[in-house]
Structure 1
Amino acid sequence: MMMRKRIFLLLMTFVLILPSFLVHASSNENTKEEETVKNPGQYRSKDEVVYATLSPAGVQQEIYVVNIFEVLKEGKLVDYGPYTSLKNLTDLSDIQFKNKKVEFAAPKGKFYYQGNMKDEALPWNIRIAYRLDGKRISPAELAGKEGHFQLDIYTSANEKVDPTFYENYLLQVTLTLDPDIYSNIKASEDGMVANAGKNKQITYTVMPEKDGELSLEADVVNFELQGIEIAAVPSSMSIDAPDIDGMTGDMESLTDAIAQINNGVGDLKNGVSELNNGVASLRDGSAQFKKGMNDVNQASSQLVEGSSAINNGLATVSSSIKGNFEQIDLGELEKLQARLPEIAAGLDEAAEGFAYLRENYSDAYGKIEEAMKNIPEYEITNADIEQLYASGADREVVDQLFATYSAAHQAKDIFDSAKEAFQAVDGRLAEVNGAIVEIEKTLGTVQQVISALENVNVVDSITQLQEGMDEFSASYQAFHSGLVGYTQGVGKLSSSYNKLHSGIVDLSGGTNELEDGVGQLNNGTQTLYDSTNNLPDQMKDEIDRMISEYDKSDFEAVSFVSDKNEKINSVQFVIKTESILLEEQETPEKPEEESKGFWARLKELFS
C-alpha cells in the first residue's frame, strides 16, 4: 500500500513538471525554427507525385501533389503552386503560403510536403463507359448485376494543360478483376492479361502523343469493380537502332535484281523496236510484191487469150498449107505476114511485162527475206515470262509480248518452209521470158520466109514452110500448154500470197502493239527501279524516324504545378477511379461506455 502511494506521488510530480518541460521544449524548437528560416537552404532536386481520384465514369474529383526535396543544406526553401491547403509530411514545422508561394524550413535529407489543389485539370481527358448486355449503363446501377459486361476507356490530350506531358508521358492503365466475379475475360489487342495472386490483372499502355481506346469484355455475376489505376510516367527509355545489315543486304540484292530486270526489259524494248521496224519493212515489201502478183494474175487471162489465138492461128496456117499447093492462096500469106508483126509486138510487150515482173518480184522477195532475217533468233522461255510476272509488270502487256513473239517466229518458220518455192518463181519467170523471146525470134524468121516467097519456087518454099510451120505450131502448142499451167499457178500463188500478206499485216500490227506494250513495261520497270533504288537508305531513314518519334531519352522534366519551380527531377501521376462495390449491411453499434475522466482512469490504473 505504501509502495502504491509513492508511485502515485511520483506520477503526480511528473504530471506537474511535464507542462513546463513541454513549454520549454517548444520554445527551444521555435527558436531553432526562427534561426533556420533566417538561413537559406539548398536542395539538389525536386520530385512531384500528382495524386488524383476520379469517379467511375472518369470525372475528376480530387487532386493533390506530394512534393519531395533532396535537401543538401538545412535552411529556408521556396516553392510555388496553386494550392488551397498544405500539409507538412516530414516534421511539425509550419509551412508559410501566400500568393502561390510556399516557404518552409527543411532539414538536410528528404523533405516532403503535400499541396491540395482544386479545379486543376490533368493533362489527359479520361472517359470511361460501361455496357451490360450491349446497353449503356451508369456505374451506380452496376453493383450486384450479372450478364455480359463491356468496359471502354478513352484517353486524349487536354488542350488546356501544358502539352509537354501528353507528348512525353506514357499511360499505364491497370484493372484488377476477381475471378469469382469475372469469367471469359477478353481484352483489346493492346491489353496484357497476367495473374496477380488469385486475381487477374489487365494492363494497357498508351504511348506518348497517342489517344487511347481501350476495351474489355467479360461475363460477370454480383458485379463489383476495384478502382482503375492509371499511372503516367515519362517515356524516357532510350531505343537502340536494330541491326538491319542483313535486311539491307537483302534489299540491295533485290534492288540489283530489279536493275537487271529493268536493263533486260530495256534491251527487250530495243529488240522489239528493231523487230517492229523490220516487220514494217516486210509489210511494205510484201504490199509491193502482192500488187505485182495481182497485176500478173490479172494479165494472165489476156496473155492466155492472146497465146490461144496465136496457137489457133498457127494451127490454121499449118493445116491450110497442107494439100494442093496450086490451091494455096498467097493472099492469105500476105494477111499472115501483116499479122505477124502485131503478134511479135504483143510477144515483145509480154516479154517486157515478164521482165518487169521478175525485177519487182526479185526486189520484193529480197526485202521480205531481209525482214525475216531481222526477226531476232533469241528464245523467250516460260521462266522469262514468269520472271516478268513476278517483277510486277502488267500481265496483259506480258501476254501481248509473248503472243507477238510467237506470231513473229511462226511467220519466220512459214517463210523458211516456203523459201524454196519463192526462189523457184524467179527461175520460172526467167524461163517464160526466154521462151517468149525465142518465139518472137521464130516469128521474125517466119516473116522473113514469107517475104522471100515472092522470089523463090513456091512449091519448094511452101514445102519448107509447111515443115517449118508444123514444127513451129507443135512447139507453140506445147508452149501454150505450159503458159496455161503457169498462169494457173500464178493465180494460186496470188491467192495464197494474199493470205500470207494479211498475216504479215497482222504481224506488223502485233509488233507495233508489242513495241507500245514493251515501252509501257519498260516505263514500269524504270519506275520500279527508281522507287527501289534507294530502298535500303529509305528503310534506314524510316527506322531512324520511328525511333526518334518514340525515343524520349532527351526529355527534361518540368513542374506540373508551376513553371517557376526549378531543379525538377521527375513528375509522376497516380490516378485512380472510385471502386464500384456492393453496399455493406449495417451492423448495430455497441453502446459506448460512459466516458471517464483522467483521475478516474488514473485511479483504475493503480487499483
Structure 2
Amino acid sequence: MKQGKKWVAVGLCAALCLGSCGVAMALPTTPQNRSLRPAGQAASQTQAPAQTGAQKAKKDEMVYIMAHAGGDIDHIVVSDWLQNPDSLPSLQDESPLINIENTKGDETFSAGSGDQLVWKAGGHDIYYQGQVEDPEALPVPVTLTVTYTLNGQPITPQELAGRSGHVTMRFTYQNNQTVSLTGENGEKKMTVPFVALTGLVLSNDTFTHVTVDGGRLMNDGDRTAVVGLSFPGLQQALGLQKSALSLPDGLTVSADVTDFSMGETMTLITSEPFAHLQDQELSSMDGLSGSLNELNTAMQQLLDGSTALAGGLSTLRQKAEALPDAVAALQDGALALQEGAGDLKDGAGKLKDGAATLSGGLQTLAGQNDALTGGARQVFESLLQQASGQLAQAGLSAGTLSIDNYAQTLSDLIASLDENAVYEKVLAAVTQAVNGQRPAIRDQVEEAVRQQVETAVTAAVQQTVTEQVTESVRHKVLEQVVPAVTSGQLDAAGYEAALAAGTLEKGVQTAVEQAVEQQMNSDETRATITSTTEAQMQSDSVKKTIQDKADAQMKTGSIQATVEQNTDRQVEKAISEQMASDKVQQQLAAASKGAQAVIQLKASLDAYNSFYLGLLAYTDGVSDASDGAAALLDGAEQLAAGAGDLKDGAGQLYDGLQTLSGQVPSLLDGIAALDDGAEQLKDGLTKFDEQGVQKLVDAAGGFDELAGSLRDLTQAAGQYRTYTGLSSSMDGQVTFLYRTEAITS
C-alpha cells in the first residue's frame, strides 16, 4: 500500500509540474504616490460567493516579493487585474495596499470603509499596482530562506561576495498558510498546498562543477541555468512518511566558485495547480485501475510523438543552417533586380508571392513593437528604481530617477561627492557636534582649574596656620625657659618687656634664645606643631576659609580667562582627534568610494540607455519596413496584372530583406532552442513513463486511500484565492514571485 501511495504522489507531482509552467509574468514598475491608503489587517482568503449575473468579475493578482540575498523581505509590490466580463460601470474591490496606481488607464477609485475600494471602471478591465506598507502585518503564505556555506562553513551573502572555494546554497521554503475545513469528522486544519519553481543563472566563468539536489541543470557553454521544483507543506498535507516518499521542499546548489558573484534569483509560488483538480476527476480515482491501461497507451503515443518531434526538429535545425546563405542570396537577387529591372513578365509572379510572405512576416514583427519597447522601458524603469534604492541604502539622496533626468541627477550627485567638498562637510559636522559639547568641556576644564586653585589656597592657608601655631608654641616654651635660665628672677612677660626696653643683659638674652631654639627643635615640639596644625586645617572654620578664598579666586578675570583659554584648546583638540579618528577617515574614504560607485552606476545606466534608444530605432525601422513591404505587395499585385513600377518595388523588397536578414540569427537560435527542448521533452517523458506511469500502473492500489487527501488539498487550495482581499462580488487567483537581490563584490 505504501509503495502504491508513493507512486500516486509521484504522478501527482509530475502533473503539477506541467500545470505550473503556464504562468506569465512581468516585473512591476515602481508605483507613484497617486493615492495613499493605510495598510490594514490581512484580508480574508475565503472564496467569495457567486455574483448575480452571467459572468463573475475576477481579481488576478501577482505579488512581487523583493528580498535580500538571504531571503528576508525588503518590500512587496502587488499587481492586480480586475477582469470585468459584464462591462460593469463600477467594480467593488478590497485592498490594504498603499501608493495605488492605475497602470493601464485613467480610471479612478474611491475609498470606502476599511479596505473597500470602488473603481469607476466604465465597462473596462482595471489594471493597478500598489505596495504593502508593512510586510509583517500582511505576511506572505510561503517564506523563503537562502543559506550559504563556503568550504563547509556558514557565511553571509555579504561576506561571500568575491570569495573563492566550494560553495553550497540552500533554498528552503516554509509553508505557513492553513485553512479550516469541515467534513464528516468535524472541523480540521489543512495546509494550503503550494508549488515553488526556482530559477537562477550562473556564469561558467565563476561557477564550475555545478550540482543540484531537487532540480535540473541546463548549460549553453557560457552559463548554467538551475531550475528547481518544490512542494512546501505537501508532504505533511498528504500524510506521507518520508520513508515512503520524500517530496522536495527546497533546492540545494553546490559548485566550485572563483571570485563569487551571482545575479538575482526568481521563485514562482502558486497553489493554482491544486485548485484546478476537479472533484469529478478525483472521484474517478476510485476506479482508476481500469483507466491506467488507457494512460499507458496514451503515454506510448506521447513517447512516439516526442521522438518524432525531436527527429523532425533535428532535421529542421540541420536544414536551417543553410537559411542565412539563402537569405543572403535572396538579398543579392533583390539588389540585382533593383539595379537591372530584369525580365518584368517572368519575375512578376514570384515577386508577388515573395512580397506577400515578407509583408505578413513584417506585419507580425511590427505588431510586437509596442510590447518590445514597453518591456524595455519597464526594465529601464525597474533598473532606475533599483539604482534609487542602492543610493538610498548608501545614504545618498538623489530623488526619483527617471529616464529623462537620471543622467543630470547622477552627474550632480557625483560633483557633490568631491573629496574636498566632503571634507569640509565632515569638518563642519564634527565642529558643530563638538561645540554642542562645549558646556560639558568647560565644566571639566573649570573643575581642573578649581582643583589647582584649591591646592594653592590650601598651601597658603596651611603656611599661615603653621606660622601661628609655631608662634604660640614658641611663647609657651619661652614661659618655661625664662624662669629656668634667670633662676626665677624673670618670667616670660618680664623678659619680653626688658628685651623691648633694651635693658636685658646680652648673656641672658643669648642663653634664653639658645634654650628656646633647642626646645623648638626637639622632636616632641615639632610633633606638637605638626599635629596642632593638622587639627586646625581640619576645622570647619579653616575649611570655610579655604573654600571662600578659592571661590573668590575662581571669580577673578585671570582665572576665568584661563578657563576659557583651556576650554578653547580642549575643543580644538577634540575636533582634531575626531577628524583623525578611524570613523571620520572611513567616511572620507567611503565618500571617494561612493563617488566611484555612482560613476559606475551611471555608466551602467548609460549603457542600457544606449540599448534602449537603439531598440526604439530598431522598432521604428521594423514599422517602416512593414509599411514598405505592404507597399511592395500592392505593387507586385499590380505588376502581375500588367502595371506598376518594378524598380521602386524591388528597392523596398531589398530594404525589407535587410531587416529580415537581421532576424535570421534569432530564428536559428529559436530553432536550436526548440530542438534542445524537444530532446529534453523526449528524455523527460521517457523518465516520466519509467518512473511515473509504469510504476503507477504497477501500484494502482494506493489511489483510493489518497483520494480523500487530494480532495482536502483541492478544497484548501480553492479557499486561498487572494493575498490582499476580495470583495463579495469577485472570484480570484494569486501568484507569488520572490526575487532575491544579486550578490556582487
TM-score scaled by length of structure 2: 0.31
Greater length-normalized contact order (CA 8 Å, ≥ 6 residues apart):
2
